[in-house]
C-alpha cells in the first residue's frame, strides 16, 4: 500500500479536475479525497496499491482536457480513515 498527499498546481480549477480525478481514482481502486484550495491548487490524498497510486499520479500530470498542470508536490501520508474516493469541502 502507498499513500501520498498531493498539491497540484497550474490551471486546475474550473476545468473539472476534481470530477476527473474522482473517476480516475475509482477506476484504479484508489481511495482518498480531492478538493480545491483557495490558492488555486488542487489538494488530494490518494491511497492504494503502489502501482495504482503511481498510475494516478502520472495521469494527474496531464489531468482532464482543459487542465494545464505546472507541477505536483507529493509527500508520504497516512491512509484515509474512510473508503472510496470523495470530493470534500474546499480549503
Active-site annotation holds for 11: no
Active-site annotation holds for 36: yes
Return the C-alpha torsion angle 55, 57, 62, 66, nearest 10.
Answer: 120
Strand-pairing partners, residue 76, are 4
Q: What is the C-alpha separation between 9 and 57, in angstroms, rounded?
A: 13
From 14, 36, 37, 41, the catalytic residue: 36
From 18, 35, 37, 68, the catalytic residue: 18
SS3 21: helix
- Residue numbers annotated as active site: 18, 36
Amino acid at each position: 500500500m502507498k499513500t501520498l498527499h498531493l498539491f497540484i498546481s497550474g490551471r486546475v480549477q474550473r476545468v473539472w479536475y476534481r470530477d476527473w480525478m474522482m473517476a480516475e481514482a475509482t477506476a484504479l481502486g484508489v481511495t482518498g479525497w480531492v478538493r480545491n484550495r483557495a490558492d488555486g491548487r488542487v489538494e488530494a490524498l490518494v491511497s492504494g496499491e503502489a502501482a495504482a497510486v503511481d498510475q494516478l499520479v502520472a495521469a494527474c500530470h496531464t489531468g482532464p482536457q482543459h487542465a494545464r498542470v505546472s507541477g505536483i508536490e507529493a509527500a508520504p501520508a497516512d491512509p484515509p480513515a474512510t473508503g472510496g474516493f470523495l470530493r470534500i469541502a474546499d480549503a
